[in-house]
Chains A and B, each alone.
Chain A
Amino acid sequence: MSALAYDGTAMLGRQLRRIRHNMGLLILTQTMPITMLLFFGYVFGSALAMPGEEYRAFLVPGLLVATAANGIMTGMFQAAQDSHRGVMDRFRTLPISRAAVPLGQAVGDLVVTAVGTVPVLLVGLAVGWRMEGSALEAAGAVGLLLLFRFATTWIGILLGLASQSEEAAGQLGGATFLLPLLSNAYIPTDNLPGWLRTIAEWNPISAVTTALRDLFGNAPVPTEGAWPVTHPVAGSLAWCAVLIAVFMPLAVRRYTNGGR
């Protein structure tokens, strides 16, 4: 385990350096949620029955979670990039912990996400969103958000390692922006037709979004609906536990056996 910690830390260093050398891409991915917040907040905010300010307060937690779900895309793209380059072969011929490379990637991604969350929250405050709960609850909300990001990154790493090429990973990864559309991240699910509403409520993004709205004090927990949405904190933790338990070992195994 100490070997994994040591190698993982070295790989985390590698990941953070890579990100630093690709500043342009970093800025682009980090400003995207802010652009979407302003765009959705004022365009949809004017069209929906909900008053604009109220919608933007509703939107901020949703956007944070939708952005966290992009861990699939980022994880996938970076893993695909790695696996189709020779450097992965070098790592595989070194006597290092097998999980170190993907773990370094996942933790590095978490650091970036944590830093990137701050400007989104600040812009949120500027457009009318507020933290109405306690500081402890707010900290819990951010912790939950990062846990969810960690979980989705492992889905991405597995898909990225399994993908045929960097281009294929890029295209499939692009499709993940559809996932939050089928949840309560951008719009309330109350008016969706029954079956669609069920799907949306079982979307992990809905559980985490509801939990954030609850912990930030933006909206009360719904009294009816699917279990993960009516018990959002427990539901979110359960979702994250399941995703990590399934995808992390699969991704590590895929990395270990890659090409063999």
Chain B
Amino acid sequence: MTTTYAVLSEGLEKSFKEVRALRGLDLAVAEGTVCGLLGPNGAGKTTAVRLLTTLLRPDAGSARVAGHDLVREPDAVRRAIGVTGQYASVDGDLTGRENLRLFAKLRRLPKAAARADELLDRFELADAADRPVSTYSGGMRRRLDLAASLITRPAVLFLDEPTTGLDPHSRNQIWETVRALKAEGTTVLLTTQYLEEADQLADDIVLVDRGRVAHSGTPAELKALIGSYAEAVVADADAMAGAAAVLDQLTGSRPDFDVERHSVGAVTTDPTLTLPRLVRELDAAGVPLLDVNLRPPTLDDVFLRLTDGSTRAGARDLTDSKELVT
């Protein structure tokens, strides 16, 4: 069986004045899968989504979405897609119900009002349906936005950072919706800054860095590539050398030290190195342990390892902003 691609792009390029946002982006998203576009701020994720949803015209390269050429058949693409942007793309001056009815009408649904009510129920917005959207919370707006993207069942759904800044309840709801859509056969392309989100939802992750694909693969493949971080916190500074020797032998990578915390750590890609084995080996070597961790790779690890050094600053910014949000 040959794979059919819901999104297929080759060499997409887009510049804004001096900034080269995309420098030849190649994407291949198989039909019915969820693809997570992961990358630091400014990597080109949003530009990619805006190009693929006909909001921007590429400077070079080509793409097909749901089988239609992006540049030559934009209206055919528009009929096949749903888009939920980073900032809620609903009308703040109208009520939730009015918004959905308007979008249903514009999609030529014969029972626009009924479809609107159905979606309001599904996204727990029935109580707020007749309030202006400007009075909604961030989570409610995002849910309405997603509902608006699902007026007709899209073949391809684009979600640009769908859960940035959302509370856990709204976030879970959006995750559930994405899973349900996938089960119905919808292809989903989502951008995110959260590795966990990509991990939870995506069949494939595409790591975007400075307008290009830096790496791609399943979440497990990427994690294996990055490796986990094994860390031992020991009783005193003198014991650090012993811990380092054990970690060096187990992981085959050079340990690093945090003298203040009496901590020694090293990266491992060995799937047989489990936490119990780590504890046993360290204990057997007589290291006076206070704490042992085997941490799966974090977002920082991903960016620092798989993107080149010049994005380090970007990755740092990202961590900061994430802390502000949570």
Contacts and interface: CB of A to CB of B under 8 A. Distances in A.
B55 A92 contact: yes
A18 B94 CA distance: 6
Given A7-B106, A86-B89, A93 B53 contact: yes
Interface in A17-59: 17-18, 21-22
A18 B91 contact: yes
A90 B85 CA distance: 9
Contacts of A86: 85, 87-90, 145
A89 B83 contact: yes
Contacts, number: 72
Given A7-B106, A10-B105, A21-B132, A93 B54 contact: yes
Given A87-B89, A94-B78, A95-B79, A10 B53 contact: no
Given A17-B94, A18-B94, A86-B88, A10 B83 contact: no
Interface of B: 50, 53-57, 75-76, 78-79, 81, 83, 85, 87-95, 98, 102-103, 105-108, 132, 145, 148
A94 B107 contact: yes
A253 interface: no
A194 interface: no
A94 B92 contact: no
Nearest to B53: A93
B56 A94 contact: no
A180 B283 CA distance: 89
Contacts of B76: 95
Interface in A175-203: none
A198 B253 CA distance: 85
29 contacts: A6-B108, A18-B93, A18-B94, A21-B94, A22-B93, A85-B92, A86-B87, A87-B89, A87-B92, A89-B55, A89-B83, A89-B85, A89-B89, A90-B83, A90-B85, A90-B148, A91-B106, A93-B78, A93-B81, A93-B83, A94-B103, A94-B106, A95-B75, A95-B76, A95-B107, A96-B106, A259-B50, A260-B55, A260-B57
B54 A10 contact: no
A90 B75 contact: no
- Name the residue in B50, B53, B106, B148 with the highest tally of chain A Cβ atoms < 10 Å from its Cβ: B106
A94 B93 CA distance: 19
Contacts of A94: 78, 103, 106-107
A94 B88 CA distance: 15
Nearest to A96: B106
Given A93-B53, A93-B55, A94-B103, A14 B83 contact: no
A13 interface: yes
Contacts of A95: 75-76, 78-79, 107
A225 B59 CA distance: 53
B91 A87 contact: yes
Nearest to B14: A260
Contacts of B88: 86
Interface residues of A, number: 23
Contacts of A6: 108
Interface of A: 6-7, 10, 13-14, 17-18, 21-22, 85-96, 259-260
A260 B102 contact: no
Contacts of B53: 93
Contacts of B54: 92-93
B107 to A, nearest CB: 7
A17 B98 contact: yes
Contacts of A85: 87, 89, 91-92
Contacts of B56: 259-260
A119 B307 CA distance: 66
B188 to A, nearest CB: 16
Contacts of B75: 95
Contact of B102 (A14, A88, A89, A259): A14
A94 B149 CA distance: 10
The 5 lowest CB-CB distance pairs between A and B, nearest first, are A86-B89, A90-B89, A95-B78, A18-B93, A86-B87
Contact of A14 (B57, B94, B107): B94
A248 B91 CA distance: 24
Contacts of B81: 93
Contacts of B102: 10, 13-14
A243 B148 CA distance: 36
Nearest to B102: A14
A88 B108 CA distance: 19
Given A13-B105, A21-B95, 6 more contacts: A14-B98, A85-B87, A86-B90, A93-B55, A95-B75, A259-B56
A259 B55 CA distance: 7
A91 B55 CA distance: 10
Nearest to B94: A17
Nearest to B54: A93
